[in-house]
Amino acid sequence: MYDLAYNRLRPVVCIDERPYFLINNVLTPIPMEEGKPKREHYEYEKNGSCTVFIAVEPLTGKRFIQVYKQRTGKEYAQFMQYVATQYPEAEQIQIVQDNLSTHSSSMFYNHLEPEIAFTLAQRFQMHYTPAKSSWLNMAEIELSALARQCLNRRIGTQEKLEKEVEAWVKARNKAEVKIKWQFSIKDARDKFHSKYPLEQLRQKQQEGESV
């Protein structure tokens, strides 16, 4: 999938999500001064949590983010609706995602009108990372960048979080930050050798012929 050339009619889009705990300062931090770092009190208050959904198109450096209160099949369906609107000209969107129970077109039918769910399901072709191998989803790389560059401070409300991630996405999209994937098909076959019994058999046959 990652070796495919760019095709605007069948774009490859990686999606993922992560929880974010809303934490507010009890005391106002002291701003940074010349020769002195910003200082904040250790005490804080928890304001619940929300979930950040992200979609990234590695070959174009385009990404989209939505923030939801929860992380259920309903939010997944809503996010996929949003992703579909970003590609009005695409014949079908190639989705790379983790193998979670909510990551399924069945969520469309559970939370949307049947006609809408069917139309939405036709827009996507789903590709799942193997079990315990979610790192193969390039959206995790983008979430890691988001955590380091934007979520590395206290944000107390969902509204403020939405503004912060929106600004981060705008800047990153403007810079057209792409992801250069270096884990090749050969690397995957070597690492996941036990997952491909037919490949093992073929290699054994080749070894037998070479003896």
57-100 pLDDT, tens digit per residue, is 999 999 999 999 999 999 999 999 999 999 999 999 999 999 99
Average pLDDT over residues 35-55: 78
pLDDT digits (tens, 9 = 90+) for 136-167: 899 999 999 999 999 988 899 999 999 999 99
Cα–Cα distance measured from residue 130 to residue 90, given in angstroms and rounded to the nearest whole number: 26
pLDDT at 205 over 70: no
Per domain, the residue ranges of the chain are 12-180, 185-211
pLDDT at 210: 45
Residues forming a β-bridge with 55: 15, 64
Please give the structure tokens belonging to residue 92. 């079908």
CATH of domain 12-180: 3.30.420.10
Residue 200 phi, psi dihedral angles, 5° rounding: -60, -45
Cα–Cα distance measured from residue 167 to residue 171, given in angstroms and rounded to the nearest whole number: 6
pLDDT at 198 over 80: no
Rounded to 10 deg, the angle between the 114-123 and 73-85 helix axes is 60
Please give the structure tokens belonging to residue 177. 């930050």
25 or 149, which is more confident: 149
Please give the structure tokens belonging to residue 78. 């809503």
pTM: 0.80
Lowest-confidence range among 129-133, 140-144, 185-189?
185-189
pLDDT at 45: 82
pLDDT at 211 over 50: no
Residue 8 · residue 32 · CB < 8 Å: no
Please give the structure tokens belonging to residue 13. 């889009």
pLDDT at 40: 63
pLDDT at 44: 60
